[in-house]
């Protein structure tokens, strides 16, 4: 009886720790994506290298985020980033601006969805 209680408590603590880690990791990742897009948008012209660096960074994060974020939501971010890279490679800044704003808003909303807030609990 005593071992069962200890096992349940340990499993409960592990689940709680995993949930907290998940919230922190997702929030941190999408906050960084938002900061990167804000940095790109704050300049007079879009820096192609910063966009490509952000896309590469996001591709690395995508592999980890697949474990904790539903694929259809994560794919929205990846598809938008892919369109942005395509626009930048073809030097189409007019097409890149709306994609940057979309990417920034998606990053904001995804961070809000997975952040620990009372609106998400209710």
- Asked if residue 95 is part of any domain, the answer here is yes
- Asked if residue 6 is part of any domain, the answer here is no
- pTM of the predicted structure, to 2 decimals: 0.81
Query: What whole-number distance in Å separates Cα of residue 12 and Cα of residue 107?
Result: 31
At residue 21, the pLDDT reads 87
- Asked if residue 32 is part of any domain, the answer here is yes
At residue 120, the pLDDT reads 59
Using one digit for the tens of pLDDT, what is the confidence trace for 29-39? 999 999 999 99
HEC letters along the chain = CHHHHHHHHHHHHHHHHHHHHHHHHHHHHHHHHHHHHHHHHCCCCCCHHHHHHHHHHHHHHHHHHCCCCCHHHHHHHHHHHHHHHHHHHCCCHHHHHHHHHHHHHHHHHHHHHHCCCHHHHC
Q: How many domains does the chain have?
A: 1
At residue 99, the pLDDT reads 93
Range of the domain at 80: 24-121
pLDDT at 2 exceeding the cut of 90: no
Using one digit for the tens of pLDDT, what is the confidence trace for 51-106? 999 999 999 998 888 888 888 888 888 999 999 999 999 988 888 999 999 999 99
- Asked if residue 76 is part of any domain, the answer here is yes
pLDDT at 12 exceeding the cut of 90: yes
In sequence order, the 6+-apart residues with CB closer than 8 A to the CB of 100 are 37, 40, 41, 46, 51, 84
- Asked if residue 3 is part of any domain, the answer here is no
- Asked if residue 19 is part of any domain, the answer here is no
If one compares 115 and 5, the residue with the highest pLDDT of the two is 5
Query: What whole-number distance in Å separates Cα of residue 118 and Cα of residue 40?
Result: 32
């Amino acid at each position: 009886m005593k071992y069962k209680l200890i096992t349940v408590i340990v499993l409960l603590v592990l689940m709680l720790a995993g949930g907290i880690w998940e919230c922190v990791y997702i929030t941190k990742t999408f906050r960084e994506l938002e900061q990167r897009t804000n940095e790109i948008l704050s300049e007079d012209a879009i820096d192609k290298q910063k966009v490509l660096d952000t896309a590469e960074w996001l591709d690395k994060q995508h592999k980890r985020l697949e474990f904790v974020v539903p694929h259809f939501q994560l794919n929205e971010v990846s598809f938008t980033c892919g369109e942005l890279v395509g626009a930048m490679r073809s030097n189409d800044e007019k097409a890149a601006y709306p994609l940057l704003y979309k990417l920034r808003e998606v990053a904001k909303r995804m961070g809000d969805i997975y952040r620990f807030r009372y609106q998400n609990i209710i």
